[in-house]
């Protein structure tokens, strides 16, 4: 059974003006789809043909199959990313709001540290809020790399590949990060991820 491209959990214009429908149509419809198609092509006829995506990510990381890992990790990262976004963002609430205040001092301090990490990631990659051995941490990964192969549980991620923001922001990555953090983070999803971590 081949993997399917998961549909976006919101309409493609729902995140405007922070992410345009034009960006989402390319990002989800072309980039994300290409990663899913590549995984299906590479696992066809192998023991991983019927495996789930997270299993393929971990197996390819362990075996050193870089081509498969790059496609599978990118498919997983993008799938996770869409769940992290919503038109109804705002301030973090409930458990995650309390944990961010406890672990970073305040939401503002967290947002500042997250933005520095996202902007400071050289080249393509991802900025993440993860649970690592019980503590909240901000980490970055390069290219397709993903924290799930190191036992960290992601709560939130932001794609900082140029394809994620260049149509809307050109080289202004910091504005892209700020717009998302302050307006379109799906804190309900982040709370669910925190509960499950």
Count of residues in contact with Fe ion, rule CB under 5 A: 3
Q: Is 159 in the site for Fe ion (CB under 5 A)?
A: yes
Nearest approach, Cβ of 46 to Fe ion (angstroms)?
25
- Residue 84 CA to residue 159 CA, distance in Å, equals 11
The residue range among 18-26, 40-48, 137-145, 152-160 that interacts with Fe ion, by the rule CB under 5 A, is 152-160
The residue written with tokens 């990659």 in the block is 125
Q: How many CB atoms lie within 10 A of CB 186?
A: 20
Minimum distance from CB of 74 to Fe ion (Å)? 7
What sections of 29-65 are H helices per DSSP?
33-43, 53-63
Stretch that binds Fe ion, among 91-99, 154-162, 168-176, 187-195 (CB under 5 A): 154-162
**Under rule CB under 5 A, residue 168 binds Fe ion:** no
Helices (H) and strands (E) in the chain, counts: 9, 3
Q: Is 145 in the site for Fe ion (CB under 5 A)?
A: no
Q: Write down the least CB distance from residue 27 to Fe ion, Å.
A: 6
Token readout for 149 is 């192969």
Give the three-class secondary structure for 10: coil
Q: Which residue is nearest to Fe ion (CB)?
A: 159
Q: C-beta of 28: minimal distance to Fe ion in Å?
A: 9
Q: Which two tokens stand for residue 69?
A: 């890992």
List interacting residues with Fe ion (CB under 5 A): 159, 161, 164
């Amino acid at each position: 059974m081949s993997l399917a491209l998961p549909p976006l959990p919101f309409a493609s214009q729902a995140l405007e003006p922070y992410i345009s429908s034009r960006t989402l149509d390319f990002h989800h419809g072309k980039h994300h789809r290409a990663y899913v198609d590549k995984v299906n092509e590479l696992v066809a006829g192998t023991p991983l043909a019927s495996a789930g995506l997270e299993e393929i990510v971990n197996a390819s990381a362990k075996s050193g199959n870089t081509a498969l890992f790059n496609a599978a990790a990118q498919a997983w990262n993008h799938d996770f990313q869409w769940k992290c976004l919503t038109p109804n963002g705002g301030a973090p609430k409930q458990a995650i709001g309390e944990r961010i205040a406890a672990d970073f001092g305040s939401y503002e301090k967290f947002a500042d540290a997250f933005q520095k990490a996202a902007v400071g990631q050289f080249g393509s990659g991802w900025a993440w809020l993860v649970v690592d051995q019980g503590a909240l941490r901000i980490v970055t990964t390069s290219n397709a790399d993903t924290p799930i192969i190191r036992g960290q549980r992601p709560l939130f991620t932001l794609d900082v590949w140029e394809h994620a923001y260049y149509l809307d922001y050109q080289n202004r990555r910091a504005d892209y990060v700020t717009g998302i953090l302050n307006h379109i983070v799906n804190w309900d999803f982040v709370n669910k991820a925190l509960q499950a971590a």
